Structures are given as structure tokens and as C-alpha cells.
Amino acid sequence: MRAISIVAFVSAVILATPVLADAQTRVLPAATISAGEIQALMGPRKPGTLPNIRVIDAGGHNVGVGVLYRAEGQTQNTAVHFKVSEVYHVIKGSGTLVTGGTVVNPKTRAADSIEVTREDGPGVTGTAIEGGVNHELKEGDVIVIPAGTPHWFSKINGSIVYLVIRIDPSQLITLQ
């Protein structure tokens, strides 16, 4: 419960940060994501299904909310999102997330790829991280990954499911 409160607090701070004058002149609708929508993505992703449940205009920046499932034995790629920060809240399972360091075998994502336009913005993908910091994550834990920070699950214990909040100040990710 405390971790959920932390996620709510971090999200509220991030959402309240844009220019307040703009918020006074333009009222945007709130977005609800049901428990059912979250539950539907808690297993392996069906082909063509995006991890983001919703991406909304939050007044000068976009915020995406999604769910990711990762299983032991699956290839886990390294990611660096140049413009998008992420907050992970582990719902189920555990694993080791490595952050920082140097990406091994970096490859720039194509500007028109689904990953860039519909998921988490421009960046690079790699095969591992050298010299990063290990974070042992388990159910209830929350981690904030600033834009530009390499991150990679080096180990997954069975499987891990986490809610991801993506903060996109450049509004690069398509609204959905």
C-alpha cells in the first residue's frame, strides 16, 4: 500500500509541475484505467498489443500508463529512452534491474518504429549493460528511471509484472 502511495505522490508531483497558467486556461479531462484493463495485460502480450493502456495529454506533456510482463528465459533488451522518463511499480514477481552504466551493442531505434511512436519515444536498444547499478525489485517496489538512463532486467525470477508510468515532456508518444 505504501508503494502505491509513493507512485501516486510521484505522479502527482510530475503532473502538477507544468506551467500552472496553462492549467488555468485549459481544462483537460481526467483518464481512468480500470483494474480489468491492468489485469488483461498481466500475462504474455498478445501480438499487436501495445504495453501502454493509455497515453494522455496532461497539459504540456504526455503521460502514458501501461503494464509490462517479462518472463525468465526471454531475451531482455537494454533500453535508453532519450526523452521519456519512467516509473515502475512492481505488481507481481521479482527481478534484477540494472540502471546506468554503458549499453552493450547499442542500436538506435528507427524514428518511425512502433517503439518510438507508440511506446516510449526515441532511444537505443542493446544486449546488456556494463558497469551499472543492480536493483533487486520485488512486489510493491517502485523505481524511477530518468530519461537518458540505460536500464535492463539482467535477471527475472520466474516472471515479473509491473505498472509503468511514462512521462513524455516532448509529447512524442502518440495519444491513445
pLDDT, position 18? 53
Residue 37 located in a structural domain: yes
Sign of the CA dihedral with 164 first, then 165, 170, and 175 last: positive
pLDDT of amino acid 110: 94
Residue 173 lies in a domain: no
Residue 174 lies in a domain: no
Is 175 inside any structural domain?
A: no
Range of the structural domain that residue 68 is part of: 2-168
Separation CA 26–CA 49 (nearest Å): 32
The answer to whether position 82 is within a domain reads yes
| DSSP string across 54-123 | EEEE-SSSEEEEEEEEEETTS---EEEESS-EEEEEEEEEEEEEEESSEEES-EEPPTTSHIIIIII-SE
Q: Is residue 85 included in any domain, yes or no? A: yes
What's the domain count of the chain?
1
pLDDT tens track for 54-91: 999 999 999 999 999 999 999 999 999 999 999 999 99
Provide the pLDDT for residue 14.
54
Q: Determine, yes or no, domain membership for 176.
A: no
176/53 Cα distance (integer angstroms): 8
Q: Please tell me the predicted confidence (pLDDT) of residue 152.
A: 98
pLDDT for the residue numbered 49: 86
Q: Are 44 and 129 in contact (CB under 8 A)?
A: no
Low-confidence ranges of the chain (pLDDT < 50): 9-10, 19-21
What's the pLDDT at 173? 93
Q: Residue 25: its pLDDT value, please?
A: 73
CATH, residue 142: 2.60.120.10
